[in-house]
Structure formats: C-alpha cells, structure tokens
Chains A and B, each alone.
Chain A
Amino acid sequence: MEWETVIGLEVHVSLSTKSKLFSGSSTEFGAPPNTQASIFDCALPGTLPVFNEEALRMAVRFGVAIGAEIGKRSVFDRKNYFYPDLPKGYQVTQLDFPTVGKGSLTVTLADGSEKVIGVTRAHIEENAGKSLHEEFSGMSGIDLNRAGEPLLEIVSEPEITCAEEAVAYLKKLHTIIRYLDISDAIMAQGSMRCDVNVSIRPKGATELGTRTEIKNINSFRFVEKAIYSEVARQQEILEDGGRIIQETRRYNADKDETTSMRSKEVANDYRYFPEPDLLPIVIDDEYIAAVRAQLPELPDAREARFVEDYSLSNYDAGVLVSSRELAEYYEIVARSSGDSKLAANWVSQDLLGLLNKNNWSIADSPIQAERLATLITRIKDNTISGKIAKTVFEAMIIDESGVDAIIESKGLKQVTDSGEIEKLVLEVIENNPEQVQQYKDGKAQVIGFLVGQCMQLSKGKANPGQVNELLREKMQ
C-alpha cells in the first residue's frame, strides 16, 4: 500500500525580553541556579503576576510578519499539573484566545517549488524551571531561573507532508524570528524547541491517522531524522495489521529511533480555566499598525530586492537572505565593492565556507564586510588576480591588518609592468618551442598552457590579461 504522511509542528520560541513574563527577574542565560528567581518565580504565597508588555509586542510582531490575524483580546489561562519545576502548580498560557491567530509561511523546497504552510495560532506562555538530577544523590535539584520566561508557542496546521518540508518550515520560521529580533532561536540552547506530530494514512484517504507526538527535538537534523524513523515505525506497524497508539514519544539520536515516554503525566487532565490574577489583554488597530510600521524588511521581500537590485539568481539571493546577519553583511560588501555578483560569490562561497568549517557566526568572522569589499576592489582594479585573492583571503583570517598591507607585505601585488611581463613571455616562448609551433600551426587552445607557464613563473602575480595579449603578439 502507498502511504502519505501528515505532520504538524509545535515550535516553542523563547522571547528575548529582558525580564520574565510576569516578574521583573532577568532572563539572561547561564546564571548560577536560582539567582534569577524572584519571590513570584518561587511561587511564594500571596505573590501575583504582572504582565510584561514587551512579550506582547514581540508576539504581535511575529503575527504581523506572518500575515496572521491578531487577537484583539487575548486571555491567559491556567494549565494545572504538578511538577517540582512548575512552582505554582500551574502554567499560565493562552488556550481559547491566543494573541496570534491564523497565518502562514511560504517555504521553498529543494526543487525550487514553493509551498504555503498554514500557522494555526501562536500563543504566549511561561516556561517551567529545570530539574537537575545529577549532583544530588537521592534527591533532585530545582533551578527556577528559567521559570516564568516568556515563550511563544507556534502551532502549524497539519499540512506538512514530509521531513524535507518540515525542515524547510522550521528554517523559514527560524529566519523570520531572527529577522524580527524577538528570540535568539538557538535550538542547541533550547531557545527554540520543536514538538512534531506525525501520522500516516493510505494515500488519498481523507481521514487522519492516529498521531504520535515527538517531544523536544533540538536540531533541524534531528527533526528530519526523527520524522523518517517515526514514519517508518508507523508504516511497519500498520502494514503488520497493528494500530498506532496516540502517545508522546522521544527521539533518541544515538539509536536513531523514537521511544515511548508514556507516563501518568501525559494522561493529565489540565483543568484549564481563565487566570483570575490577570486581566485580558486588549489591543486596538492602532497598536497593531504601530507594530507593523516597525517591522524590518523580511526575508522574502529582501530576496526579491536582491534579485532586482543586485541582479542575483533566486538561488543566490535565497542563500544570502537565509540569515539577517549574512544578508546585511552581503549588502555592505556589494555596495562598497561596487560588484554585486563578485560580492555574492565571495560571500556565499568563500566566506560561508570559512564560517561553516569553523562553526562561526557572522559576528565571529575574522573577515569583516568592509575588508572583504576591499579585497574585491583590488581584484577589480587589477592590483591582484582572482587567484591571488584567495591567498590574500586566507591570510586575512589570521592577519588583522588591512588588505593592502597584506598584499604589500607578502609581495602579492600583480605585475602589470609591460617590461617585466615581456621578459616572462619571452622566456616562456624560448623554453617551449614545441607548443609555440603548435600554436603557430593553428592550435589556438595551446595559449592556455603558455599563459599558465607565465603565471607559474611569476608566482601568480602577472596580470593574466596582459600575458595573454603579449604572448599572441610575440608568436605572430
């Protein structure tokens, strides 16, 4: 039987507000345990929540960016369950009236086709603390630094049909969130987390199959692998005549398999009801318009502009806008160097290659945009050849001095003096009579070999155009 897969994603993003959702505690990452936990965060009796409006602004910013309906009246609810890292015994979230309603994302797939994936909703909620099970024999430690940090939970429609689409959706979401500057969205640090709902059904069926939920996956690659392995597992069960149990599962990357994490916690009745300590959040069109007016240029618009203004291919533009920092870097290089295509090549190949190899971010890059622009300018004004430029680029990684200083100190400046070049050309003609004869006999492509010889003799510094020209002249 042929099967089709139905996937829905729930993504939790840590909003990068300075203080927590309902208290003044700092949200900085990595502080010693419980140093960022106020009396409210510890759920001392009598304490009350005060809503951080910065979180609202960020949520609305996201909603506007994905063209979503914005809830003009959002309501917080209590979700009740007991766990030691949930100090109040309930999580404050939004059930029936989320701040962000229906919206959508457009993703580009590997074959270049586009697909629109619906976003059901995005709601604001508070994070739980952390349980620490090591270091305390027979006991658990509780760190409440993270408790009460603001999260935005973004729920997709079950419109994703394969792992590739899921990853494309996540990457697009990640890019938009980074452009909006509402979260670091670093999966490895937990500031972006993903729960995947997966089910399969016979191809063409209209009813959904029973789904499983794979919780807390923390990298794009694992999302992809988890989906592959879960789909295979479900298919095997169904083809053997079995039934899928609706449950929560965990992805084990070492074994590349999902395992059930069924526990009593999962069977909880959360007994949601409206949080009486907080008033509904009411916003008007003016508020939404003000947030919209402050939106930065978003990736799709920027890609279109790059294609238009810099004459780039859709593919190149797509690579360059995939992160806000990279796009901004590219624009500086393109403008300062005056050659947008050369800039695109250098940024998307040499620079990205360097960053990826070292696992660096743009901010870590030892080669700043202005320096790369200077390097490209030196290619264009014939100070160095494109090939020598690669050497200079390598040198720039460890040498912080200016591009010109590096070219100078390493003696890489291109030879354009016609006397010097003539000397080279004559030497090569003299040393390669056979090839010269071949050229004279009409085998024009031999010129390439002879240019190469000249370049080698000059250690790459000779201007290849001048060499080419002079060779032809001397062999006539």
Chain B
Amino acid sequence: MINSTVAEISAALAAGDISSVEITQAYLNRIATLNGELNAFITVCEDSALLQAKAADDARAKGNNSPLLGIPLAHKDIFCTKDILTTCGSRMLHNFVSPYNATVVERFIDAGTVLLGKTNMDEFAMGSSNETSYFGDVKNPWNTEFVPGGSSGGSATAVAADLCAMATGTDTGGSIRQPAAFCGVTGFKPSYGRVSRWGMIAFASSLDQAGPITKSAEDAALMLNVMSGLDKKDSTSIDRPVEDFTASLDQPLKGLRIGVPKQHFAEGLSREVEQAVRDALAEYEKLGAIIKEVDLTNSHLSVSAYYVVAPAEASANLSRFDGVRYGYRCEDPVDLEDMYKRTRSEGFGEEVKRRIMIGTYALSAGFYDAYYRKAQKIRRLIKDDFDRAFEEVDVIIGPTSPHTAFKLGSKSDPVSMYLEDIYTIAVNLAGLPAASIPVGMANGLPMGMQIIGKYFDEAKILNVAHQFQQHTDWHKQKSTALVTASGEA
C-alpha cells in the first residue's frame, strides 16, 4: 500500500481495509531501510507519528472521515514544527527546535495527517541539486549516483521512493518543480499568496511559495485543499475563497488552449526531454486541446533578474542568523564583531554565503539602480509577457528542466547550476501557479513537464495534469533500483 496514492490510501482507510497505524508503521519501516542510502530525511518522528496515527484511527472510529485523516506525510525542513528540530538544511540551525508551528504545518495537523519527519533540502533552499545541505547529499531514488534536484530534493525523493504518501516543498525559483521532474513525481507551486508563508523560513520573501509533492495531480489537489487560504499572520497571503481543487479534475479538455513558449524549446534543451514533451502535447491534442505557440519575449532575462532579486531579499532575510538569540554560535568569541563574523562564516555554507554576498552587493549604494531596480523592471516585463500570452491560451506547457537529473558532484560552476532553473524561474517572478508532472523516461531517469496557469487558476492546471495522468502512466513508474538494493517489495 505504501506505493499507493493519497486518494487510494484515503479510500482504504475509510473502508477499514487498513489502519493509519499500519500504514504509518509501513512507511517508518521503509524509512528505516532506505533513508541511510537516500538521506531524504533529516529527522524522523517515529514515536509521535505512531501516536498521531493512533489518534487518527480513534478519530475515524468516532466518525471523522476527512480526506487526509491518518495519511502519513513529510514536511520539508524549512517549515517550523513545534518541539521538533527545524534546520533548514543548515549548520546555522542544526540545533534549532522551533517553539511554534508554521501555518502549513498547523493546517495538516488540523486535517488529521501523521507527520513522519522532516526532509532534507538545500541549505536555506539555495540550490538545485540538494548538494548544499549541511546534512549531506540526497540521492535520486532512480539512480543513487544522481542528484534528486533541489531544493526540495528530500521531499521529492521521499515521495518517489515511497518513504511517505505525500510531502510539502517550497519553490522560490523551481525548488518544487525541478526535483519533482528529476524524481518522477508531481510537484505543484501555487500562486504567490495562495499558501501562507508564516513559519516557512524565508529565502526570498516575494518569491517563496509552499506547495505539495505527490504521486498524482489528484493528490496535489487534496493537499492544496488543506494548505491554501488566507492567513492573517502573513500579510502577503491573499483573501480569496478556496475552492475544492478536486472538483474540476475530471473536466474534459476539449477546446483547451495550450500555449507552447518557443523560448522553452530553444538551444540547451535535450533531445529526449523535447521529444517527451512534444509527445505529451500530441496526447493533449488527442484529448481535444488546441496547441498554440506563445512568445515569452523576455524569458531570457529571468535568470539574471532572479539572481538579483532573490539574493537581495535573502541577504536581509538571513541577517537574523547572528548567533545572538538561537541557532549556531561560534566558540569563544572575543567580541561582538568576532561573534558575528565567525558565527556567520562557520554557520553558513558556501552557496548561502555566495548569495548573501551577491545580494548585499546588488543593494549597495551606487549599485541599487543598476541591479535591484532594473531587476524589478524586468520582473514587470516578464509578468506582462505572461499576461499577454494568457489572453490567448488557458495554460502554458513546456519542459520543467532542460534535461534529466545530473550526476552528484558534476556541476561545480555556480552559474551552470543557476541555469538549471531556466524554465521555472519566470513563473516565480510573475507569481503564477505551475506544476511539474512526469512525462517520460530517458536513460533510466524521469523527465518532467511544466504546466503554467493563470494567477489563482490552480484548478485548471490540476485538471490538465490529472487528465494527462488518466491517459498515461508515467506518474506510476517506480524505480526498481531500490527494490533490488534493499531486497524488499
């Protein structure tokens, strides 16, 4: 049952075919067997998970039948969880036990889910390979010599390897979609403002957004139903009614207008990924959709603009990690300046320090107009491109990543790593919702397809993704590498 979707487990729980304690124990066993190899979890909450599962079973016995009751999940270690270690993948927070729950965490508690543990991630969500974590690399379950993508690599791996039924991730420039593509799972980044950021450790405040990582679009809809909605504790969360995202999953796609951005099929895209996405588009045409080319003229500027805005915001967001109140503090500081310098030099990893430096530089007197202000202008242009495109189409589809997962340690140049997110970053700059769903396999590794929607039109993306998954089974593909390695079914 551990390889089932949330929808299937939910049905089994409701039918009494299985208990939450049983399925929770099954996941805990799987974690015990495989986490040593995959390193997907930083913290496993075995005891509390079983207690929550028991409570869920009791609640069900009393008539509670909410869809996610008793479903075991994992949270990316960027979400603050009360009384549980919350590291954000950093030495800076290696000892930080949060005294409060993130709103996302709170909402899953209210929904009756079972928290299995906290997943590994690139340090402070800065990375596209999960190699920047203080807690070590996460391995791609399809081939452990390859990266799972990042920054939500632990969550994507955990879902792909059946270490949990579903997981949360966060996406600032592609951190849900790219690892979902690399690991062959469904990842969803909601519209900016759809999901509360309260309790989610900030990387770049104007871009960060939490979302689900699941085994199907339907599961993503189930998670979004719980995660979404106004939170007064986050001033940037949007006050709009939350619809039932499962409601429109089954709508036929006849007449759907799909935009294909020519810029996403240009130089740098691997042949296999291009073919897989083109095949998917042909599938959509069979389902009655109309394909139109769209022009995202300024998309070539998105990576540059992003690497000004995101580090600028990060440089301020990460100032609070100063060794004064919590987290890492260097040994025996001689004075205040020494404490600041050594705490931050020792507590942060290389990539985090690099981005703090970039951001600090971009905001410096004399450079602000040339970098930060200009980047904000580009952001506006990119948003305008999407607005124009969405006058003609309902969704935009292209590859999530130019290629399949790459080998651990193979990208040492930061800029080539930054270019990993070339198709995903513009979506964050424009604040739009987008999903990545599995669209094929190449050389034993999965490939992902990105579906971008209009602002707050999550339901349409889920509908488009779900219909594809009803007619294909790429999302049901499972790695056989682990089964043989662990000797278990």
Contacts and interface: CB of A to CB of B under 8 A. Distances in A.
Contact of A48 (B88, B233, B313, B322): B233
B320 interface: yes
Contacts of B96: 45
Nearest to A45: B201
Nearest to A268: B365
Interface residues of B, number: 44
A45 B368 CA distance: 26
Contact of B235 (A50, A269, A273): A50
A51 interface: yes
B232 A50 contact: yes
B202 A46 contact: yes
Which among A45, A87, A88, A269 has the highest number of chain B CB atoms within 10 Å? A45
Contacts of B20: none
A461 B364 CA distance: 80
Contact of B326 (A44, A88, A278): A44
B227 interface: no
Nearest to B193: A279
Interface majority SS (helix, strand, loop, mixed), chain A: loop
Interface stretch (A76-84, A362-370, A421-429): A76-84
Interface in A88-139: 88-90
Interface stretch (B98-106, B107-115, B178-186, B389-397): B98-106
Contacts of B316: 78, 80, 88-90, 271, 273
A90 B368 CA distance: 17
Q: How large is the interface on A (under 10, 10 to 19, 20 to 34, 35 or more residues)?
A: 20 to 34
Interface in B60-100: 79-80, 86, 88, 93, 96, 98-100
B235 A84 contact: no
Contact of A89 (B197, B201, B320): B320
Q: Can you list the 7 inter-chain pairs with the closest CB atoms, starting with the nearest?
A: A89-B319, A271-B363, A276-B205, A276-B206, A46-B199, A43-B320, A45-B201
A420 B313 CA distance: 91
Interface string A32-45: 00000001001111
Contacts of B204: 276
A39 B100 contact: yes
B452 interface: no
Given A42-B325, A273-B363, A279-B236, 11 more contacts: A45-B93, A45-B96, A45-B320, A45-B321, A46-B98, A47-B199, A88-B320, A271-B364, A273-B316, A277-B202, A277-B235
B320 A48 contact: no
12 contacts: A46-B79, A78-B316, A82-B319, A84-B322, A87-B325, A89-B316, A271-B316, A272-B363, A273-B368, A276-B205, A276-B313, A278-B236
Nearest to A80: B316
A142 interface: yes
Contacts of B324: 84, 87, 142
A260 B235 CA distance: 41
A49 interface: yes
Contacts of B326: 42, 44
Contacts of A51: 235
Interface string B307-338: 00000110110111110111000000000100
Contacts of A277: 202, 205, 235-236
Contacts of A42: 325-326
A46 B365 contact: no
Contacts of A50: 232-233, 235
B348 interface: no
Contacts of A82: 319, 322, 340
Interface in A33-73: 39, 42-51
A88 B325 CA distance: 11
B350 interface: no
A45 B88 contact: yes
A279 B235 contact: yes
B365 A269 contact: yes
Nearest to B373: A273
B86 A45 contact: yes
Contacts of B365: 269, 271
Nearest to A42: B325
Which among B316, B321, B368 has the highest number of chain A CB atoms within 10 Å? B316
Nearest to B78: A46
A89 B325 CA distance: 12
A50 B233 CA distance: 6
Contact of B198 (A48, A142, A269, A272): A48
A87 B236 CA distance: 22
B40 interface: no
Nearest to A49: B235
B201 A46 contact: yes
Which among A87, A269, A273 has the highest number of chain B CB atoms within 10 Å? A273
A140 B325 CA distance: 12
Contact of A80 (B100, B198, B319): B319
B436 to A, nearest CB: 25
B109 to A, nearest CB: 16
B115 to A, nearest CB: 17
B99 A44 contact: yes
A24 to B, nearest CB: 10
Contacts of A140: 336
Contact of A46 (B80, B206, B363): B80
B200 interface: yes
Nearest to A142: B324
A90 to B, nearest CB: 5
B321 to A, nearest CB: 8
B161 to A, nearest CB: 27
B201 A278 contact: no
Contacts of A279: 235-236
B366 to A, nearest CB: 9
Nearest to A279: B235
Contacts of B175: none
B372 interface: yes
Contacts of A49: 235
A78 B321 CA distance: 16
Given A78-B316, A82-B340, A46 B236 contact: no
Contacts of A46: 79-80, 98, 102, 197-202
B163 to A, nearest CB: 24
A89 B321 CA distance: 8
Contacts of A269: 364-365
Interface string A350-386: 0000000000000000000000000000000000000
Interface in B145-183: none
Nearest to B237: A48
Given A89-B320, A273-B316, A278 B100 contact: no
B58 interface: no
Contacts of A273: 312-313, 316, 363, 368, 372
